Structure 1
C-alpha cells in the first residue's frame, strides 16, 4: 500500500514537472490557429491585451551608433510598461521623421534593427509575443535603399494589372527581408476632386479600374502564403470614400448618398476583400454624420457580416482620438476609444487612441471583455498565420542583396514607361531624332530628383535617381549639345532666369521643358502629428516646391510660380517645344494644349523616370499610358469625372462642360482601328452572360500597345445610372499591321444596379455596349437586351 502510494506521488510529481516544462498550446505550431489564439488570450492580462492593439511610431524605437544598431530606451519602456503589439514606419526616413541618409538605416542595418526589436519582444516579455512591423509601401518601401516606383496615379495609367502585381511582389520582398510584416497599400479611394492633396496616391476616378489595380496589389503583396518570407500583409487605405472631400480639404466632410457609396466607392474595397486582403485602414472623414473610425455599419455589418472579411482593421494615424478632437461625437478620450472598438476598429495606429484610454473605457465598463478579446484575437491570428512565433527574425545578408536589385530597378523603369501618357503630338513632333545637333532641356523638374518621386519617399543618394536631363543625355549622340537651364522653381518666384532659358531654346533644334508640381518634403516644413504638412497661405521664408502630397490641398489647378511665363517665353522663340509634365494631380493645361505641339504626362515616375521618359521621347518605347482621371479646363467645372450620373451636363456661359482630356485618353505613335463588334447573350437560372467580341488592328508601320476599353450604358433603369461606365479593359501589344480579336465576358455583376429597395438586381431592358480608345473616343457601339430580372445575393455584393 505504501509502495503504491509512493509510486502515485512520484507519478503525480513527474506529471506536474512535465506540465511545467510542456510547451504552451499557443507556442505549438501544430495546433490549429483558433486554439492557439484562444489559449494565448486566456493567459493575457487586460493590460497586455490593450497593448497588443497599440501600433506606435517606430522610428524612435531603434538607436544607431556609427554602424552599430540596437534598440532604444523608448522601445524598452513601451514594451515593458505598455505591452505594445506593433510598430509603424520603423524603417521610414523623411523630413517628418528626421531620419536622413546619415542617421537612417540601410537595408542590412534595417534587418539588424528589426531583429533586435523582435528579440527584445520575444525574450524580455512574459508571453514572448512577437512584434508586428508595419511599413509604408504604396510605390516602394519608404525606406533608405529601397526601389522607388511611380506613384499610384502613374501605376494605374499603365492599365496593366499584371505588371502591378509584379511590382507589388517586388515591394513585398523588399519590405519582408528587412523585417517588415505589413505593407500599407493600396490606396483605393476614388479621386474625383483634383484639388485634394492625395490624388497621386490613388488609381484615379473609376471604381472598375481601381478595383482591378487594387486586387493586383493585394495579390502581389500577400502572395500565396504569408509564411513565404517574401510577402507581407496588405493594408488597404482608406475605408471609406475619403477621396472626395468638400472643397478638396484633406480629411474633410464628404457628401454622398448610400446608393452612390455602394455603387462607386465601396466596390474597390469589396474586390480587395474578395481577393483576400487581411488589413483595412479607416479614413479620417465621416459619412452621413458618422466618423468612419467609429462606424459600426462599415466596420462590422458591411465588412464582416455581409462581405466576410477575415483580417483586422486599423485606424489611420490619430483617427481614434479624432472622434473626439475632430468630429466631436465623443466627450472624453475613453468614450472615443469605446466608440471605435465597439464599432469594430481593432488596431490603433498611433498608440494614444487606445492605450490608457481603452483601459479606462474597459474599467468604466464602456467596453466588454468579449469586445476586447475580439479585437486582440484578430491581430494575434495573423501573427500566428505569418509564422512569427516560430520565426520572428530575418537574414541580414538577404536584405543587402534583395533590396533594390537590378531586376527591381529594371521593373521600375518598365512601370514608368508604361505609365507615360502622350497627350498631344501635333505633326508627329515625337519621337525625337537621336542625331539632333542641339537640345535645350529647361524647367524646374528637368533635373530635380525629389520632385520626380512623389510623397511617401525616403531620402535618396543622387546616384539612385535618373532625371529627365540625365535620361536625355544618355540617349543622344556624342556630338549632340545638351544645354540645361532651370528657368524657375515650382512655386518660389524669386528663382527666375527666363533670359537664360530663352537663349538656350533659341540656340537649340528642340526645347524639352519639364514642368508640373512637387510632393517633395523638406526639412523646413512643419508637420502635423498625422504626418500631413501644415500649409499656410503666406510665407516670408523661401518657398519649397511642394504643392501636392498629403496636406497640400489646392484652390486652383494652375501651374504655380513663374512656370507659365517660362513656358510662354520658350514657345515664343519659335523653337519646337515638347512639354514633359511631372506632377501628382491634374493641372490647368489649356494654354499648352493650344500652343505646344507635343505634351507628355509622366506623373511622378519614380527613380527610373528619366530613362523611361527618354525612352518615349526618342521612340525606343511607344507610349500607351492612358489617363485614369479626367483633366478639367477649370476648377469651375468640378467635379468633371466621366461617369457622372444622368442627365448629361450642360455647357457653361464661359465654356463647355467637357474636360480638356477625359478618362481613358492617351495617344500612341501607332494608329489603331476597331471593327466587327459582336455581342451574344445567354440567360439561364438567374444568370446572364453577354459575350463581347471585336477586332483591333494596328494600321501603322510601328509596333505599339493599345488599351481597348469597354463601356456600358443601362438605357432605361428604375434608378438614375451613369451616362457610361467602364466595365472591361485590356492592354494589348500589336505589331505593325497586326490584328487581334478582343473578347470580354459581361455577367450579372457587370449589369447590376442598386434599386429603390436597395437590392442588387439586373433589370430587364436594353443595354448599350461601347468600345474604343477612351471614354470620349468610342469607335463601335451596339445594343443587347436582357429579358428577365435577376436578384443577386447581398453577401456577394
Structure 2
C-alpha cells in the first residue's frame, strides 16, 4: 500500500476520498447494462475512489422496477464499473461500492426484513447476526463492498423522523444489536465474497435533536455522551467495524464532521479504530452552509480532514475544495496520505485488487432465496410485541366463521416495509390481509374494508368498515403510520423527504415517518382514530395491529380495545408473521425497545433517565403508558410453595 501511495498524484489521492452518488453511473437498455458517460467522466477526470447507492432504487433516485436493476443486471453493472476503473486508470485502482443495508440491501429483488426498531424488539442478537449475514451476502454478490448500517443513535425523542432506523432508547441493547450486525456483515473474512464492511451511523448523538427536528442541535454533557451515546458505537467498534459515518448535528457547538475529539481522540486513540470514517451526505459542505464554522469550501474540507474525517460522501465536500485546501497549505501531505491509506487499506482487505468482479449467475441464485425469505418471517415473528390481551381474546381460532379485516395498513405493501426500501413486486410481499387469508379455514368469511388513509381525509369510507365489523365475530383493525415514499414527494439533496402539502388536488401521501418526517404530536393521523372508535362502538371484539415506525399515542385504544399487537414495520413477510401471532402459531415474545409515552408534553421519557425521579403532572402521570421492556405472551406462569434458604457468610463484604 505504501508503494501505491508513493506513486499517486495529489489529484489521484483526493479522488480516492470522494464517494459519488452512483445511480447515474450506469446505463441500461434491453440488451445490456454498462457504465454511463457520467461514470466514465467521474473516473477519468476526478479519479474517484468510491460510489454510493449505485443499485439503489426509490422515488428519490427515480429508479423503478422498470428503470432500475434486478440482481443479475446489478452484478453486470458493478462489473462494468469496475472494469472501466481498473483498465482505464493509471494505477488500476478498483472502486469501493457502498449501499444502504439497514434492513435488507436497498435494491430491487432483495429480501426485506423488519426495520431496526423491530429487530431490537426481538432482543435476540444471534438472530440479528444471522439476518445481517444474509443482507451482506445479497449485497456482496451484486458487487457491493460496504453496507451502511447499523444505525446506533439512541431514540429518546419519538417525534424524530428516524426512530424506525434505531434500536431504541437503551445503550446496552443498542450495543448488543450493533455488534451483532457488524459481526454478521463482516464475518470472519472480507475476502469471502459474501461479506461487506459495516458502516456505523451516525457518530454521534444524532437521535435526540431539539424539538425532534432531524439533524438539529443537541447539548449533552460529556458525562452523558460517555455513559449513553458513545457506548453503542464503542461496542460495535470493538466487534470489528471498519467504517464510521459522522452525524449532521453539532455537540456543544462543534459539528461532528469537524470534531477532532470524536474522530481522532475517542475513535482512534481511545478505542483503537482501524477503519475509515465517512461523512454523511453533504455534511462537509454543511460546515459552511449549515453550521457556519467555515467561510469557504476549502476551509470546510480542511477542518474535516484535519479532524480525522477520511472520506466524503457526496463528491463535493472534498474534491476541488480539498485540492484548494492543500494548495493553500491548510492540509498537509501527511494528513492527506493518512486519509487515503485508510481507504486503500479497506480495498486491500476486501481483496479488490486481486478480484474486483462478481459472478452475475451467483447473484440470481442467492438473492431472496427461500431460506432468506423464511428468515425474514422469523425475524418478523420475533419482533412482534403483544401490548395487551384482555380476557385472552388472542389467539384467535382459525375456525372463526366471520372475520373483519379493517384499516389503512391492512393491505398496503409499502406501508409495511419502512424507509430505505426499494420498489417491490407485489408478489414478493405478504400483507396482513393476505397473511390472515392464508391462515383461516376456507369456510371463514373475511370482510375487508380500508376505512381511511393514514393522513389524507378526503376519501374515507368509515361506514363500510363499520358494516364489516358488525357482520364479523372479531374485527382486526390495522392502523399506524407509513414511511412509504412516492413519486409526488419532494426530496432534499441529502435524500431526506420534504414535508409538503398535497399538490394539484392529489391526496396526501401516507408518509408520516421516515427521514425528514418529524412530528409535533404522536396522535394517529387522518381519520384513523375516528375509524377505530366507530368500529369499537359496534360491540364486536377488536384486535388492533399497529404497523408504524415510532411510538404513537395509544391512550384511547389501551383503554377501550381488548387486544393490541405492535408489529412496527415488519418487512416482506410481515403479513405471515402477524397472522402467525394472531392465530397462535407463534407465541409472541417481542419486548419494547423504547418507551411509549402518554403525551408529548412528558417527553423525554425513557427508563434510565437521570434522577431525581419525576413526579406526576397536573393532567397526567409522568410514567410512560408502556415501559421499555414491556411485552406479553400467551404463556401463563404460576409460582407456588416457594422456599427461601439463607446461609450466613463470614468475612468482608464484597
TM-score w.r.t. the length of structure 2 is: 0.98
Gaps of 5+ in 2: none
Deviation digits for residues 688-728 of structure 1 (CA, Å, limit 9, x no counterpart): xxxxxxxxxxxxxxxxxxxxxxxxxxxxxxxxxxxxxxxxx
Q: Does structure 1 conserve the Cα–Cα contact (< 8 Å) formed by 2:248 and 2:280? A: yes
Equivalent in 556, 574, 578 of residue 609 of structure 1: 574
Aligned mates of 1:303, 1:679 — CA distance in 2:
47
User: Which structure would you say has the larger Rg?
Assistant: 1
Asked if residue 96 in structure 1 is aligned to residue 50 in structure 2, the reply is no
Q: Does structure 1 conserve the Cα–Cα contact (< 8 Å) formed by 2:502 and 2:508? A: no
Asked if residue 418 in structure 1 is aligned to residue 378 in structure 2, the reply is no
Asked if residue 559 in structure 1 is aligned to residue 524 in structure 2, the reply is yes
Aligned mates of 1:483, 1:372 — CA distance in 2:
65
Asked if residue 172 in structure 1 is aligned to residue 136 in structure 2, the reply is yes
Task: Give the structure 2 partner of residue 581 of structure 1.
Answer: 546
Aligned mates of 1:673, 1:66 — CA distance in 2:
66
Task: Give the structure 1 partner of residue 2 of structure 2.
Answer: 38
Asked if residue 71 in structure 1 is aligned to residue 32 in structure 2, the reply is no
SS at match of 2:586: coil
Asked if residue 160 in structure 1 is aligned to residue 135 in structure 2, the reply is no
Equivalent in 559, 569, 590 of residue 555 of structure 2: 590
Asked if residue 460 in structure 1 is aligned to residue 436 in structure 2, the reply is no
Task: Give the structure 2 partner of residue 105 of structure 1.
Answer: 69
Aligned mates of 2:70, 2:175 — CA distance in 1:
34
* 1:243-254 to 2 correspondences below 5 Å: 243-254=207-218
More strand by share: 1
Task: Give the structure 2 partner of residue 122 of structure 1.
Answer: 86
> How many residues of Structure 1 are paired with residues of Structure 2 in the alignment?
649
Task: Give the structure 2 partner of residue 260 of structure 1.
Answer: 224
SS at match of 1:281: strand
Aligned mates of 1:678, 1:190 — CA distance in 2:
41
Asked if residue 187 in structure 1 is aligned to residue 151 in structure 2, the reply is yes
Task: Give the structure 1 partner of residue 200 of structure 2.
Answer: 236
Task: Give the structure 2 partner of residue 214 of structure 1.
Answer: 178
Equivalent in 632, 635, 638 of residue 670 of structure 1: 635
CA 538–678 in structure 1, closer or farther in 2 if over 3 Å, else same = farther
Task: Give the structure 2 partner of residue 600 of structure 1.
Answer: 565
Aligned mates of 1:284, 1:679 — CA distance in 2:
55
The structure, 1 or 2, with the larger RCO (C-alpha pairs under 8 Å, 6+ apart) is 2
Pairwise CA RMSD: 1.5
SS at match of 2:439: coil
* 1:630-645 to 2 correspondences below 5 Å: 630-645=595-610
Q: CA deviation at 1:534?
A: 1.1
Equivalent in 597, 609, 624 of residue 589 of structure 2: 624
Q: CA deviation at 1:385?
A: 1.0
Q: CA deviation at 1:678?
A: 10
Gaps of 5+ in 1: 1-36, 683-784, 788-797
Q: CA deviation at 1:71?
A: 0.5
Equivalent in 459, 480, 484 of residue 444 of structure 2: 480
Runs of 4+ residues over 2 Å off in structure 1: 536-541, 671-680
CA 97–538 in structure 1, closer or farther in 2 if over 3 Å, else same = closer
Aligned mates of 1:598, 1:67 — CA distance in 2:
54
Deviation digits for residues 49-93 of structure 1 (CA, Å, limit 9, x no counterpart): 000000000000000011410010000000000000000000000
Q: CA deviation at 1:495?
A: 1.7
Deviation digits for residues 102-154 of structure 1 (CA, Å, limit 9, x no counterpart): 01000010000000000000001100000000000000000000000000000
Aligned mates of 2:179, 2:479 — CA distance in 1:
33
Q: CA deviation at 1:542?
A: 1.8
Q: CA deviation at 1:541?
A: 3.8
Task: Give the structure 2 partner of residue 658 of structure 1.
Answer: 623
Aligned mates of 1:320, 1:72 — CA distance in 2:
27
Aligned mates of 2:194, 2:506 — CA distance in 1:
45
CA 53–510 in structure 1, closer or farther in 2 if over 3 Å, else same = same
TM-score w.r.t. the length of structure 1 is: 0.80
Aligned mates of 2:356, 2:216 — CA distance in 1:
40
Asked if residue 506 in structure 1 is aligned to residue 460 in structure 2, the reply is no
SS at match of 1:474: helix
Aligned mates of 1:127, 1:397 — CA distance in 2:
29
Q: CA deviation at 1:677?
A: 9.4
Deviation digits for residues 249-293 of structure 1 (CA, Å, limit 9, x no counterpart): 000001210000000000000001111100000000000000000
SS at match of 1:440: strand
Task: Give the structure 2 partner of residue 332 of structure 1.
Answer: 296
CA 404–506 in structure 1, closer or farther in 2 if over 3 Å, else same = same
CA 147–357 in structure 1, closer or farther in 2 if over 3 Å, else same = same
Q: CA deviation at 1:629?
A: 0.3
* 1:47-62 to 2 correspondences below 5 Å: 47-62=11-26
Aligned mates of 1:519, 1:254 — CA distance in 2:
25
Aligned mates of 2:468, 2:460 — CA distance in 1:
15
